[in-house]
A and B are shown apart, each in its own frame.
Chain A
Amino acid sequence: MQTVDRDLVSSRAPSARSRAPTTRGTLLGRYGELALAGATALVMLLAIGMAFFYAPPEAVQGNVQRIEYIHVPIAWTAFLAFFIVFVASALYLWRKDERWDWLARSGAEIGTIFTTLALITGSLWGRPVWGAWWAWDARMTTTLILWFIYVGYLLLRSYTGRSAAGARAAAVLGIVGFVDVPIDYLSVTWWRTLHPALQLPLGQQAQAPASVVVTLMVALAAFTLLFGYLLLLVYRLQRLQSEALRLRARAELDG
């Protein structure tokens, strides 16, 4: 415990005392955050309304296809989150500024939740359409492996605690994990070449009517906004947890 404490105190980040407690260290100001929350709620309501009342039912799948307006944006958000983990991890190793580490950690937490949701919604859609909850299709397999990688990332974080060494180790995993994804996708696609291609929801976009495309775009915007808002909240939580630990360590060292 003692080594971790010293590590926290001697961290190169600006000390907690020199920083104003509420506004600095968040990504947006207080009003920016409120505005983002409002915009997220509005666009999300619009997206849900459009998914149910504006977009037409699909010719073959019927209403089942409407889950696509949630599933696709969730999957997109998960990939965006892991891209942020990758960039923030690289910047952390380069600049040694713990704010990049908070960002990477926030991205990984949200990304893992969204990957879980993408797997669940995909499964819910696959059951009525394919007749199976799961198929070892290239995209699904890659997403599942991605899920394992980032659950591993969160496990590593919980095992190493809030230390600079733990943050560096996690940053390395954040980089390696993201670089692995394209090779993984390629290998799984090759592995499955002999099997009949499964019809994926995105494959039908080419001949889809405009209302479907518009609804999907609004849903994408809604989930991206939601992701941004969640990222702000989780980032602030990371900052506060680090600062609380640091204050406690300092109090213990002062006696």
Chain B
Amino acid sequence: MSNTRLFWEQTLAILWKDVRCELRTRQIWLAMGMFALLTLVVFNFAFDLRVDNQTAVAPGALWIAFVFASTLGLGRTMAAEQEQGAMDRLLLCPVDRKAIFAAKLLGNLVFIGAVEVVAVPVFAAIYNVPVVTVAVLPILALGTLGIASLGTLFAAITANTRAREVLLPILVFPLLVPVVIGAVKATQGMIDPAGGEPPWLGLIAAFDVIFLSIAAVTFRYVIEE
């Protein structure tokens, strides 16, 4: 069997395990989804949303909701591995460390994506902004990939520490600032196109490429015992 095929078989096996686990318990997805919706509602009160400040405020609320909800779910996926000692057994298996990373990353993308599928239409409805379009898809995809690639790496780092739920957002939020700025600005540009905007999607894509490569290389140092 070729190495590439083996890699993907291992990745899909771990991914399928995580997805099946989640389908049975529905812990992570429900909590993330509820949290994202709640954040959207709370921001509505916090910013006293009106027609004239909608474009400025709404994309920020959307992305903050995604970032917050993501850290919630990201922490759970790795913590679940640690709690039952499942990670040690996974490491004992002859599995490529990069396959573990790829599976965890894909799993987080699936979970965050599932939340976004629900949250974006709700957001469009309650904030009254036209975001359910094809143009929003690349922004969502690139932004989510950025959050998930750094988040997967740091969820693995904090899973081994005391107080991991506290530490994960503290470590990840400052690093995610470029993604948040880029995604918010790209979403704003989509709702209300203004001339001469910097290439925000390119910025997020560059961020994604750099952090995916670093995370893929350094992940094995983080999970090794």
- Residues in A with CB closer than 8 Å to B182 are 187
A148, A171, A179, A188: the one within 8 Å of B221 (CB): A171
Which of A152, A166, A191 is B171 in contact with, Cβ under 8 Å? A152
Q: Which residues of A contact B214 (CB under 8 A)?
A: 175-176, 179
CA distance A183 to B174 in the complex (A): 12
Interface string of B198-211 (1 = CB under 8 A from A): 10100100110011
C-alpha spacing A135/B207, complex, angstroms:
26
Known A-B contacts A159-B167, A187-B182, A188-B181; A176 and B160 likewise in contact (beta carbons under 8 Å)? no
- The verdict on B178 contacting chain A, using a C-beta distance below 8 Å, is yes
B102 within 8 A of partner (CB): no
Which B residue's beta carbon lies closest to that of A186? B203
Interface residues of A in 155-204 (CB under 8 A from B): 155-156, 159-160, 165-166, 168-169, 171-173, 175-177, 179-180, 183-184, 186-188, 190-191, 193
Partner of A149, one of B175, B200, B203: B175
Q: Which of B157, B163, B177 contacts A184 (CB 8 A)?
A: B177
Cβ-defined partner of B211 (8 Å) among A159, A176, A184, A191: A176
- The verdict on A93 contacting chain B, using a C-beta distance below 8 Å, is yes
Q: Which residues of chain B (179-225) have a CB below 8 Å from chain A?
A: 181-182, 185, 198, 200, 203, 206-207, 210-211, 214-215, 218, 221-222, 224-225
Whether B203 and A159, one on each chain, are in contact in the complex, defined by CB atoms closer than 8 angstroms, is no
Report if B32 contacts A (CB, 8 A): no
Residue in A closest to B184 when the chains form the complex, CB atoms: A191
In the complex, the answer to whether A159 meets B153 with C-beta atoms within 8 Å is no
B interface residue count range (under 10 / 10 to 19 / 20 to 34 / 35 or more): 20 to 34
**In the complex, what's the smallest C-beta–C-beta distance from B150 to chain A, in angstroms?**
7
Task: State A148–B203 Cα separation when bound (angstroms).
Answer: 22
What is the CB-to-nearest-CB distance from A37 to chain B, in angstroms, rounded to a whole number?
35
- Which residue of the partner chain A has the closest CB to B206? A183
The main secondary structure of chain B at its interface with chain A is: helix
Chain B contacts for A171, CB-based, 8 A: 221
Given A159-B161, A176-B211, check contact A149 B174 (CB 8 Å).
Answer: yes
Asked if A145 is at the interface of the complex by the 8 Å CB criterion, the answer is: yes
A187–B203 CB distance below 8 A: yes
Query: A190 to B203, Cβ gap below 8 A?
Result: yes
What residues of B have a CB within 8 angstroms of the CB of A184 in the complex?
A: 177-178
> DSSP class of A's interface residues: helix, strand, loop or mixed?
helix
Q: Which of B154, B163, B171, B211 has the most CB of A within 10 A?
A: B171
Please state if A173 and B171 are interface contacts (CB–CB under 8 Å). yes
* List of B residues within 8 angstroms of A145 by Cβ: 174, 177
What's the Cα separation between A130 and B98 when bound, in Å? 50
In contact, B178 and A183 (Cβ under 8 angstroms): yes
From known contacts A155-B170, A187-B181, infer whether A180 and B175 are also in contact, taking CB-CB under 8 Å: yes
Contact B161–A176 (Cβ < 8 Å):
no
Report Cα–Cα, A191/B215, bound state, in Å.
Answer: 26
* Smallest Cβ-Cβ distance to A159: which chain B residue: B161
* B224 and A168 contacting across the interface, CB-CB below 8 Å: yes
Interfacial chain B residues near A180, Cβ < 8 Å? 174-175, 178
Residue B24 interfacial (CB < 8 Å): no
* Residues on the A chain within 8 Å of B161, using CB: 156, 159-160, 166, 169
Interface string of B142-182 (1 = CB under 8 A from A): 00000000100110011011110001001101110110011
Whether the Cβ atoms of B174 and A168 lie closer than 8 Å is no
* Per-position 1/0 for A139-156, Cβ under 8 A of B: 000000100110010011
Measured CB to CB, the nearest residue on chain A to B219 is A172
Question: Which residues of chain A (195-216) have a CB below 8 Å from chain B?
Answer: none
- CB-nearest residue of chain B to A167: B221
Query: Which 7 residue pairs are nearest across A and B when measured between Cβ atoms?
Result: A148-B174, A187-B178, A190-B198, A159-B161, A169-B157, A172-B218, A152-B171
A-B contact pairs, 14 of them (CB 8 A): A93-B218, A148-B170, A152-B167, A155-B170, A156-B157, A156-B161, A165-B160, A166-B160, A172-B153, A177-B175, A179-B211, A180-B178, A188-B181, A190-B181
B-binding residues in A (CB < 8 A): 93, 145, 148-149, 152, 155-156, 159-160, 165-166, 168-169, 171-173, 175-177, 179-180, 183-184, 186-188, 190-191, 193
